[in-house]
Structure 1
Amino acid sequence: MKKIWIVGSLGHMGQALIRLLDMMEYELYETDKDELDITDEHAVSLFMHRNRPDVVINCAGYHPSAGAAQSETNMAYKVNAVGARNLAQSAESIQAKLIQISTDDVFSSASDTPYNEFDDVNPVGLFAKSKYAGEKFVIQLMTRYVIIRSSWIYGIGKDFLNEVLEAAADSQVSTMELLNNDRAVPTSAAELARVVKFFIDNDHYGIYHAVCSGGSCTRLEFAKEILRLAGKEDRLTVTVKDGTPEKYSVLDNMMLRLTGIEEPSGWRETLASYMKETGGLE
C-alpha cells in the first residue's frame, strides 16, 4: 500500500485530497501546522524517516497581507521557501516523490496570452517571490518531483467564493466592492486533487500547469457567476473600485496536453457542481 503524506491537510487542497484518497488503497499521513511545523528542519526529517512516505504532497502556504510587516515577510519565506526546502531535502534522502502545489502568481502581468510551462517566470510581490523560491529549492534538491501551478483554488472553508456568498446572505450588505479585478481561472480543489492523484500513481515529473478548462474570467465575472448560480443576482451588487489594477495570470495546461494527461473540467461546470454539492446552488 502506497504511503502518502499530505502537508497542509486543513486547507482547500489538503481537504480535497483527503476526501478523494481516504477510501482508496493508500495509507495517509495528514499534518497541518499544529501537528508539524515544516519550517523546523529537524521535525520534518524525523517525521519523514519515521514514516517513510512514498509520496509527499505539499499543500502548505502562507499568504501575507498587503503591505506586510517584516514579521510577515519572514514568515512567508519560512513557510513557502524554507518549508519547501526542508520537505525536498528530506524527501530526497529517502527517495520519496514530492508534489509541490504552487501558484499562477509566479508570472507577472506582462502578457495578455495564457502562460505555459515554458514561459519565463517573473514573480512580483512577496507571496509570488516566496512561492517561486520554494519551487527553486524543489528543483535544486530533488530528482523525483512534480510542481503543479494552479490558480484561484476554491473548496470547503474561507475563500473568495465563500466571501461572496456570505455577503449575499447578509441582510445588512447590498454591495461588495472588489479591490482587484485580476484575470485568471477559478479551479476546483476537487478537480485539482484528481490531477494530483494521477501524479501519485504515475511516473511523470517536472512542472505542470493545472487549471480548469473553459477559458478565464475576471474577479468580477467570477463573483457574478457565483451569484447567478446561487440565485442571488438581485440580492448583491458587485463593483470594482475605481483605478483598480488588473493582473493577467491565466495559465495554459500545455504540459498536461503534451503528455496526454486529462485536464480539469470546465470552470463553470465544476463551480455549479461544487455549489450544488455544498448547498450554495439555488
Structure 2
Amino acid sequence: MRILVTGRNGQLARELQKRKPRDVNLVALTRNDLDVTDSNQVMQAVNKYKPDTLINAAAYTAVDKAESEREQAFAINATGPENLARACHEMDTRLIHISTDFVFDGQGCSPYKPQDSIRPLGIYGESKAAGEAAVQSVLPQAVILRTAWVYGAHGANFTNTMLRLMRERDQLGVVADQIGTPTSCITLAETIFSLVSKPEVSGIYHCTDAGTASWYDFAVAIYEEAKNLGVLTKDANVNIIPIGNAEYHSCAVRPSYSVLDKSSLVEDLGIELKHWRQALRQVLQEKVNS
C-alpha cells in the first residue's frame, strides 16, 4: 500500500508518519516539496509517487488571519484540494481530504450529521466548504473527513498553548460558551488508517473523540491531567476562569456549537472512539515519554 500525505510538518501528518501500519509505504511532503496550489506540481507528484491513497492534511488554519488573507486561505483550502482531486481522478488514486466543523454555523443544538446543511460564518470556514465542494464535484468517490479542535503532543495547538500559559501565569480566562469536542491527532490518524483499509468507503464522515466540552472544560482537564502526570509541577497553581466568547476579542466569528455526529463513521468502520478526556491523557503521557 502506497500512501502520499501533504502537509508533512503539520501535527496530523506527523502522527500519520508515526503510526503508519507496517505494510504501508508512506511518503509525506512539505509545502516546499509540493505546493498544492500549483496544479502542475500536484500532477507531477501524484505521477511520480503513484500512491494508492492520497491524504490531504495540508491546510490554511489561521482562522483569524483568514479574514484578511482570503486569497491565500482559498488558494490552499479550495484550489489545493481541487488540484489534488483532479490528479487523483487522472491517476485513479483514492483521496482522503480533511475538513472542519467550521463549515457549520453553530446554531444547532444537537450533533451535526454529515448530510446536514452547511453555512460557514467566516473566511476560513468558507474556504474549507469550497474545498469540500470542489472535491465532491471532481471526485465523488473521495472521502471527506470533518474534524474539530485538533491537538497533539507537538505543534501549535490549544493544549500546548494552555500548558505554556499555565507555566507563565497564575490566572487564565478561557471561553466557556463554545461547545464542541477535542480531537486527539492519535484518534484522527488511527481513524484515517481505518479508512485506508476500507477502499469501498466514500463520502462525508465526521471524526472527533467522544463526548462534549467547552474550551473552559478542556482547559481545566488539561490542567488536572498535566499535574497528575507531571507535565506541570504538582505545586502549579493556576486559577482558570470561565469567560464568554464576547470577552475573547477575535477577528473571526466561531461556531458556538460544533459537536459532530460520528455514528456513521463508527458503524461503517466498526471502530470505537475514546472519550476526549481519555484521549487527552494519552497525548499528555506521550509528552512525558518523549
- Report the TM-score when normalising by structure 2: 0.89
Cα offset for 1:101?
A: 0.6
Partner secondary structure for residue 50 of structure 1: helix
- Once residues 129 and 270 of structure 2 are traced to their aligned partners in structure 1, the CA distance between those partners, rounded to angstroms, is 24
Kept in 2: contact 1:167–1:236 (CA 8 A):
no
* Structure 1 alignment gaps of length 5 or more: none
TM superposition shift of 1:181: 4.2
Does the CA contact (< 8 Å) of 1:180 and 1:246 recur in 2? no
C-alpha separation in 1, matches of 2:263 and 2:76: 29
Question: Alpha-carbon deviation of 1:8?
Answer: 0.7
- 1:45 maps to 43
Match of 2:256 among 247, 250, 255: 247
The answer to whether the 8 A contact 2:194-2:269 is kept is no
Contact 1:154 1:188 in 2 (8 A): yes
Q: For residues 22 and 71 of structure 2, what CA distance do their matches in structure 1 show?
A: 38
Q: Which residue of 1 aligns with 2:209?
A: 212
Shift in Å, 1:122: 1.1
Q: Is the 8 A contact 1:192 1:264 kept in 2?
A: no
Over residues 73-129 of structure 1, what are the superposed CA-to-partner deviations in whole Å (9 max), with x where a residue is unaligned? Answer: 110000000000110100110110000011111111211111111211111101111
Q: 2: distance between equivalents of 1:266 and 1:196? A: 18
Where do residues 28-177 of structure 1 align in structure 2 (5 Å cutoff)? 28-66=26-64, 68=66, 70=68, 72-155=69-152, 156-170=154-168, 173-177=169-173
User: Given residue 15 of structure 1, which amino acid in structure 2 is its aligned partner?
Assistant: R
Q: Match for residue 251 of structure 2? A: none
| Code of the aligned partner of 1:235 | N
Q: Quick one: percent identity of the two aligned structures?
A: 29
The 3-state SS of whatever aligns with 2:241 is: strand
Provide the rounded CA distance (Å) in 2 between the counterparts of 1:19 and 1:68.
30
What letter matches 1:270 in structure 2?
A: A
Distance 1:255 1:54 in 2: 24
Name the CA shift for 1:122/1:168 in 2 (closer, same or farther; >3 Å): same
> Relative to 1, partners in 2 of residues 1:76 and 1:221: Cα closer, same or farther, differing over 3 Å?
same
| Matching residue of 2:191 | 195
Residue 2 of structure 2 is matched in structure 1 by: 3
How many angstroms does 1:174 deviate by?
1.7
Corresponding position of 1:235: 237
Q: Distance in 1 between matches of 2:277 and 2:129?
A: 29
Q: Structure 2, unaligned stretches of length 5 or more?
A: 248-253
Is the 1:168–1:236 contact (alpha carbons within 8 Å) kept by the matching residues of 2? yes
How does the TM-score come out when normalised to structure 1?
A: 0.91
Letter in 1 for 2:114: E
Q: Cα gap change, 1:96/1:248 in structure 2, threshold over 3 Å: closer, same or farther?
A: same
Taking a change above 3 Å as real, the CA distance of residues 273 and 82 of structure 1, as seen in their structure-2 partners, is same
Tell me if the contact between 1:64 and 1:73 (Cα under 8 Å) persists in the aligned partners: no
Matches of 2:176 and 2:80, distance apart in 1:
29
User: 1:66, 1:241 → 2: CA distance?
Assistant: 19
CA offsets 1:11-54 (integer angstroms, 9 cap, x no match): 11101110011x61112111111221111111111111122111
